[in-house]
Amino acid sequence: MQIVKIDPNALSEEYGEKMCESLEQGNILVLSAGIFNPTDQDCALLRSSKQSASSAFKNIAYKPHINRTTGVSADAGVDATEVHRILAAYSTGAIDFLSRLLPQYAKSWKVDYATFRPLEEQGRDLPLNRRNDLMHVDAFPTRPTHGGRILRLFTNIHPEKDRVWVTSYPFEELVKRYAKEAGLDEVTTAPAALKRSVGRIVRMVSRKDSDRTAYDEFMIRFHTFLKSNEEFQKKGQVDLSHFKPGETWISFTDAIAHAVKAGQYAVEQTCIVPREAMLHPDLAPLAVLERAAGKPLATR
Ligand code: SIN
Ligand code: FE
C-alpha cells in the first residue's frame, strides 16, 4: 500500500485516470487540506455535539437520499439542525471535489451516507463485529453492493491529534490466505442460495431484509472473520499511517484491510462505484473472489 499525495491544482480527465489507477491498485490518496472542510467554527460545533447512547447508532449519519441526520443525542446541548447543516454541506463539498478528482467514477456512482465519528476510537467499547480498531474490509449488512466498490473519503477534524490507521496485505493476498477458511465455498451452496431467496421475498413483503448476493454474504463473513482472527490481527499489520488534523484521505475500503488505532473526530463520505466503472474490473474484490471460488458470485 502506498500513500499518494493529491495535487488539487492538477485535476483533469488524465490526472483522474492516474488517481483511479492508484485507488484500484489498493493505495490511499491524501489531500493536505480540503476546500470542502467544515470551517473552524463548524468543526468546533461538531466536536461539541454528542452521539446518541443507543447502540442502534455507531456514528452520526447524514443520509442524503432522505435529507436526514440520525444519531445526534437529544441531550447534546447542540442544535441537531446545525449538525445536519454542517454534514450536508460537507457531503456536497466532498462529492463535488470527488467528481472533479475522479470524473470516470462520478458518471455512475451512487452517493451513500456521510458520517461524523465523535468518539475516541482507541479502547472504544463495542461488540467485536462493530469495532473499528480491528483490521477488516468494509461490507454493509443493510446496504449490499452486489459487487459495487466502497469508495470512502475521510477528513480528520481533530484540532491536534492524528487519526492513525493500520493496514494489511493486498486483497488478493488476503483471499489467498483466508477466503476458504472464512467460508467462500459455503456461500455458493444450494441451502445458502435458498436462504437468500427467502430473504428477498421477506424484503418484498416487509421491506426488512436485504437483497444479498453470494458476494455480499461472503464480504460480511470476511469482515467478521478477519476481525476475530487473532493471528491475522497480530501478524497481518503491514503499514501504519498517520492522517494529520485537516487532512483528507480516500480509498476503496472494501479491498484494503484497515483499522483505526487511535483518533477522534472524523467526518466521512461514502460512494458506491459500480464495478463496470473500474479501469481494472479484474482487480475488484468480486473478480478476485470469483477466480478463487471458480464460480460467479454476483448472480441472484
Ligand atoms: C472504518 O471504516 O473502519 C473506520 C475508519 C475510521 O473511522 O477512521
Ligand atoms: Fe472500515
Dist. CA 300–CA 295, nearest whole Å:
13
Q: How high is the pLDDT of residue 189?
A: 86
Angle at the Cα of 225 (from 221 to 229), degrees rounded to 5? 180
Residue nearest to atom 3 of ligand 1 (CA): 132
| pLDDT per 10-residue tile (average), the chain, 300 residues | 97 97 98 93 90 72 93 77 95 98 97 93 84 94 94 97 97 97 91 80 71 94 97 96 98 98 96 97 98 91
pLDDT value at residue 73? 80
Nearest to 218 by CA among 172, 178, 186: 186
Whose alpha carbon is nearest atom 8 of ligand 1?
260
85-89, Cβ contacts within 8 angstroms, sequence gap of 24 or more: 86/38, 86/42, 86/45, 86/46, 87/60, 87/62, 87/114, 87/115, 87/116, 87/267, 88/62, 88/64, 88/114, 89/38, 89/42
Q: Could you tell me if the CB of 24 is within 6 A of ligand 1?
A: no
What's the pTM value of the predicted model, to 2 decimals? 0.94
User: Which pLDDT score is estimated for 211?
Assistant: 83
Strand partners, 266: 117, 156
Residue appearing with cell numbers 427467502: 198
Task: Give the closest residue to 153 by CA, choosing from 242, 249, 223.
Answer: 249
Residues 191, 298: Cα–Cα separation, whole Å: 16
- Give the atom of ligand 1 at the shortest distance from the alpha carbon of 259: 3
The atom number, within ligand 1, closest to the CA of 117 reads 7
CA-to-CA distance for 15 and 130, rounded, in angstroms?
36
Determine the distance separating the centroid of ligand 1 and the alpha carbon of 161, expressed in angstroms.
16
Ligand 2 center to 259 CA (angstroms): 7
d(CA 106, CA 108): 5
Rounded to an integer, what distance in angstroms lies between the CA atom of residue 140 and that of residue 145? Answer: 8
In this structure, which ligand is nearest to the CA of 120? 1
C-alpha–C-alpha distance, residues 192 and 251, integer Å: 31
CA of 260 to the centre of ligand 1 (A): 6
Q: Is 268 helix (H, G, I), strand (E, B) or coil?
A: strand
CB 115 within 8 A of CB 59: yes
- Cα 163 to Cα 175: distance, rounded to the nearest angstrom: 27
pLDDT score of 126: 84
Helix (H, G, I), strand (E, B), or coil: what is residue 242?
Answer: strand
C-alpha 205 to ligand 2 mean position (Å):
31
Ligand 1 pocket residue status of 243, Cβ below 6 Å:
no
- Look up cell 462529492; give the residue: 95
**What's the CA-to-centroid distance between 16 and ligand 1, angstroms?**
24
Please count the other Cβ atoms lying within 10 Å of the Cβ belonging to residue 123: 7
Cα–Cα distance, 32 to 47 (Å, whole number): 21
In the chain the domains, ranked by start, together with CATH numbers, are 3-293 (2.60.120)
Q: Which ligand is nearest to the CA of 152?
A: 1
